């Protein structure tokens, strides 16, 4: 039996020699208070002369700088559940763009938030408790196919869009390596039966009756 081992993914950074000295590079992330998005910025530090440090020593020095800068692996990894990642990492970057409005009766409503909750309820019902690293493209595509048999094309299309957005964000934050939702295809949904309105049917029948009486 093949046993696959999973490794906690963390940032190690990189080192290289420039002008006779070791330099280290690593990324830091900060939340933009305006947009709510997480911004990545590369940092560079001089670690010491090449003559005094081996490559192993250079990485040890870089680790100290990363610890002081708060750039070590303190963020959540691929073992986090989808529902936690959505609530803690993805939603804060999206909900800031959802605007509420007040109607004539003073009632506050947010159509974007209501729609998002409806779509996410379907996604999280199926995958919410699963770790991000265990959700694969086959499971997502099968679920979309099942969703298409019972629900509208709009819900299926928006569910695919949300899945892509969620997993793209997980890749951006280096929580997972690849997005399982990248190549999801939109399945065919059941045809919507168009019903002719009663008003139109009755009006047309009345008109035909008047015409037949007039020319009889």
Closest CA to 9 of 82, 85, 80, 59: 80
Pair (139, 56) in one structural domain = no
**Each residue of 127-165: b (16+ CB within 10 Å) or e?**
bbeebbbebebeebbebbeebbeeeeeebbebbbebbbe
In a domain, 129, yes or no: yes
Pair (85, 186) in one structural domain = yes
Pair (44, 87) in one structural domain = no
In a domain, 3, yes or no: no
Pair (84, 146) in one structural domain = yes
Pair (145, 124) in one structural domain = yes
Q: What is the DSSP string of 75-115?
A: S--TTSBHHHHIIIIIHHHHGGGPPPEE-TTS-EE-HHHHH
What is d(CA 136, CA 143) in angstroms, rounded to the nearest whole number? 11
Pair (36, 79) in one structural domain = no
- Region 159-184: mean pLDDT is 92
Pair (49, 87) in one structural domain = no
What is d(CA 159, CA 156) in angstroms, rounded to the nearest whole number? 5
Pair (124, 148) in one structural domain = yes
Q: Which residue has the tokens 């009345």?
A: 206
In a domain, 84, yes or no: yes
What is d(CA 186, CA 153) in angstroms, rounded to the nearest whole number? 9
3-state class of 41 per DSSP?
A: strand
Pair (82, 162) in one structural domain = yes
Pair (56, 84) in one structural domain = no
In a domain, 207, yes or no: no
- The structural domain count of the chain equals 2
Pair (82, 151) in one structural domain = yes
Pair (65, 90) in one structural domain = no
What does the pLDDT look like over 53-105, one tens digit per residue?
A: 898 888 888 888 877 776 554 456 788 899 999 988 888 888 767 666 666 66
Compute the 3-state secondary structure of the chain and give helix, strand, coil in percent, each to the nearest 5: 45, 15, 35
In a domain, 210, yes or no: no
Q: Which of 2-6, 36-40, 101-105, 182-186 has the lowest mean pLDDT?
A: 2-6
In a domain, 206, yes or no: no
Q: Which domain holds residue 34?
A: 14-69
**CATH code for the domain in which residue 177 is found:** 1.10.150.130
Q: Which of 38-42, 85-89, 159-163, 178-182 has the lowest mean pLDDT?
A: 38-42
């Amino acid at each position: 039996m093949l046993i696959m081992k999973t490794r906690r993914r963390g940032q190690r950074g990189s080192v290289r020699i420039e002008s006779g000295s070791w330099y280290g590079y690593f990324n830091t992330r900060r939340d933009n208070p305006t947009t709510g998005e997480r911004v990545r910025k590369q940092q560079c530090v001089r670690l010491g002369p090449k003559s005094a440090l081996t490559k192993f020593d250079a990485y040890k020095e870089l680790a100290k700088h990363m610890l002081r800068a708060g750039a070590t692996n303190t963020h959540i990894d691929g073992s986090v559940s989808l529902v936690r990642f959505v609530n803690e990492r993805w939603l804060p970057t999206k909900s800031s763009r959802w605007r509420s409005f007040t109607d004539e009766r003073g009632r506050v409503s947010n159509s974007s938030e209501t729609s998002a909750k409806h779509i996410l309820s379907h996604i999280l019902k199926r995958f919410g408790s699963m770790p991000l690293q265990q959700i694969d493209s086959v499971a997502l595509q099968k679920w979309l196919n099942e969703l298409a048999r019972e629900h509208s094309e709009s819900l299926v299309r928006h569910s695919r869009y949300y899945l892509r957005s969620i997993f793209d964000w997980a890749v951006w934050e280096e929580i997972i390596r690849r997005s399982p939702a990248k190549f999801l295809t939109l399945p065919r949904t059941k045809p919507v039966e168009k019903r002719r309105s009663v008003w139109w049917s009755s009006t047309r029948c009345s008109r035909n009756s008047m015409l037949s009486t007039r020319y009889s």
